Chain A
């Protein structure tokens, strides 16, 4: 079927518009994929060296899960510390202990929807009896729980922490 020159151009423009939208969508999707790739799933053997670094940085490891209400309540305090000390030697890690099969369903959407900026790792080692004591012998296993350390100076909190409490802990170590 023939078309008039003008009409053909219109069809072409429409075609390119559709293509542009498609390309844009593809880029958007791939960006999201990149974003999700920065939440690594790891075993405790992989996490353990991160809990024992001997440099002069203050490390904060908050153990949490998307299903843990008091954990979600205290997350903004960790986010605030992460932002406030971004140029200092302070590093915040949010260690999710969501069930391993909930990575895509719960963890990734939660991080995205809440615009979490701190580093997040997903500890998928289910045999917690083997690693709870290695995080801290004081830990009975309930969450929220937080380990703060700088070199050999370590503190463990099996409770919710407020921003003020967290800031005082960081200031005492920095």
Chain B
């Protein structure tokens, strides 16, 4: 009995250690989340996609807002090449009413989002990916073993000023994938608003 308890304990500790989210090369989970049009969206719905640009973003955060136009442009450019944007708002938290599902609908209409803007209701998905902030990007590539994480991080190297960008990290990563190469760098970092776990 003692042994069993210690095995369970070790397993628990180990599983806590493994909830840090995805690394490059990991296989990403699918999800079934509500879009601003009321319909549920899964990655499995996109039969022809070569992969996905998963962007954890939200309404209230200035660094996320600063990227709205750039995300629309990236979707326009890469959706037709097989990599559509899927935006997910992880801030299901009553302390942040601006990020509520109702306000997501308003934002999606105002900005004419051309991609799904999904609500991570219950905050089940963002911890699996290991998203910590908005915006936080994960590029997935469809391979034999599933949807493989190929790029994690920033959209580019200037969140405040699109005109001042000198390195388009995400586009470079996508271009590499389109050429059948691994993105380099595969991970980058940017400042963002912390994702707000509901207490």
Contact = CB atoms under 8 A, between A and B. Distances in A.
Interface of A: 65, 67-70, 97, 99-101, 126-130, 132-133, 139-144, 158-159
A95 to B, nearest CB: 11
Given A101-B161, A140-B133, A128 B193 contact: no
A99 B161 contact: yes
B194 A128 contact: no
B189 A128 contact: yes
A126 B189 contact: no
Contacts of A159: 194
B191 interface: yes
21 contacts: A65-B62, A67-B61, A68-B193, A69-B96, A99-B62, A99-B159, A126-B164, A132-B189, A133-B189, A139-B189, A140-B132, A141-B154, A141-B189, A141-B190, A141-B191, A141-B192, A142-B191, A142-B194, A143-B191, A144-B194, A158-B194
Contacts of A67: 61-62
B32 interface: no
Given A67-B62, A140-B133, A158-B132, A126 B161 contact: yes
Given A69-B96, A99-B66, A132-B190, 9 more contacts: A67-B61, A101-B160, A128-B191, A129-B153, A129-B154, A140-B132, A141-B192, A142-B195, A143-B193
Interface residues of B, number: 27
A126 B62 contact: no
Interface of B: 61-62, 66, 96, 132-133, 136, 153-154, 157-161, 164, 166-167, 169, 188-196
A76 B153 CA distance: 31
Contacts of A127: 157-158, 166-167
A64 B199 CA distance: 22
Nearest to A159: B194
Best-surrounded residue of B188, B193, B195 (most CB of chain A within 10 A): B193
- Main DSSP-derived SS at the A contact region: loop
B160 A142 contact: no
Contacts of A129: 153-154, 157, 167, 169, 188-190
B116 to A, nearest CB: 24
Contact of B194 (A100, A133, A143): A143
A116 B161 CA distance: 28
A67 B60 CA distance: 9
Contact of B192 (A130, A133, A142): A142
